[in-house]
A and B are shown apart, each in its own frame.
Chain A
Amino acid sequence: MVSNTKEVKALDFDVTRSAEEERKLAFKDELCIGCGICEKVCPVEAIELGDIGAIVRTDADVSKICVDENKCVLCGMCSVGCPVDALEFTIDGESISDMDAYPQYLSSAEIDDETCIYCKACETACPREAITIARELPERAKLVTGEIEIDKDICINCGICEEMCPADAITMDSKIPTSADPTVASDINVDKDKCVYCLICKKSCPVDAIMAACRSCSYGEYDLDPADSEITGSSFIDDDLCVRCGWCEEICPVDAAKVKKPFKGELTVDEDKCTTCGACVDICPCDVLSFPQPEEVGQIVEKVYKDEKYCIYCGACANVCPVEAIEVKRTDVDYTPTKSKSWKNKMESLKT
């Protein structure tokens, strides 16, 4: 008789059955958001969602879900239901997410590099740290034009210009004076690639030894090539980490990011029941929930603030709420068509 085997690797695990074809379910704990959809769709009740509130908040060394390998029939339904990539199901090494026979969520996140101005707002806002923006900045020297010269005969080597220079363009080679050479510095120089012609050195020099002029502000614009000030770069979204929350799309100032979410729905918080324990705020993979700060003393604010723009309706917050103050309704599930009626029924059952 062929039976399932389970290999546990720290918090991750694989459940495998090898017969004519090898079927394998692999769980990646760090990607799991604790939504519990796998537990709901499993036809044989083989999956148990752990105490994710405690696991996430106390950083416990416990896997977020548990699969009973003796109950699991390796059907792959949990993998299709998982809105992130925490459960991967493969048949003979090929992921069912690449097979047309199995339904997939229709969801995506993209950044158009042609439109992107590489401001990094999305990288900073992304709650999953899934976005990396690499950018190449123009050379500072190519954005300014001017002239600067230190008259070394007048210079008393006081070092004030070196200390004041905001661009660290001036270096003075200090030395101990000797009777043979009674000076305090051997040389002083301006690095013209670093100088921004701000004229602070000229204004602060006590003996007027510096002659400097900025041409950027006046006719010198003609000296500058606009192409030299161009910022180039590239964006990258880690598909494994991305949960399609839409933060990048919302925060992007130039509409370069586009996100398609798999679910539509409704999130309600019962203010009367809420005790502000913060479990939902901590578990939410999309930073939908936060505690509002009163703007003035004595102002009464909502207990928990929510912005559904970022919500993926995964239901993790409702799972952890100890007092059942949160309700997450899924009204629409967008997935690729499948011929199998049972699979279709399962996908439709995600609507609540």
Chain B
Amino acid sequence: MELKVEQDNCLGCGVCVVACPVNVSISPEVAGGHGSKTEEVIMMVENGVIKLFSPEKCTKCGTCQMFCPTDAIWLE
């Protein structure tokens, strides 16, 4: 399975960025909703929409998909 995003669906809420357990372990400040300080994280909101930075780090736990309100990020 592979992590996919559809920027047209994204509202830029950043819930996936905060919920992603891998993101939190790479850049702990995202858990507080502050946004990542590094591009090492799997995904970040850039210019108001979600963008994948390091999708190869994804462990396919499905947490982002469960929390995304608009089906903008999913595993396929």
Contacts and interface: CB of A to CB of B under 8 A. Distances in A.
Binding site secondary structure of chain A? loop
B24 A275 contact: yes
Contacts of B20: 277, 322
B70 interface: no
A53 B65 CA distance: 11
B61 A60 contact: no
A62 interface: yes
Nearest to A276: B21
B65 A58 contact: yes
Interface residues of A, number: 19
Contact of A57 (B21, B22, B59, B66): B66
Contact of A54 (B22, B24, B62): B62
Contact of B1 (A50, A278, A320, A321): A50
A277 B1 contact: no
A58 B25 contact: no
Contacts of A75: none
25 contacts: A51-B1, A53-B60, A53-B61, A54-B1, A54-B60, A54-B61, A54-B62, A54-B75, A56-B62, A57-B62, A57-B65, A58-B66, A58-B75, A60-B1, A275-B24, A277-B20, A277-B61, A278-B63, A321-B21, A321-B61, A322-B22, A322-B59, A322-B61, A322-B63, A323-B21
Interface residues of B, number: 17
Contacts of B74: 58
Contacts of A277: 19-21, 61, 63
B31 interface: yes
Contacts of B1: 50-51, 54-55, 60, 62
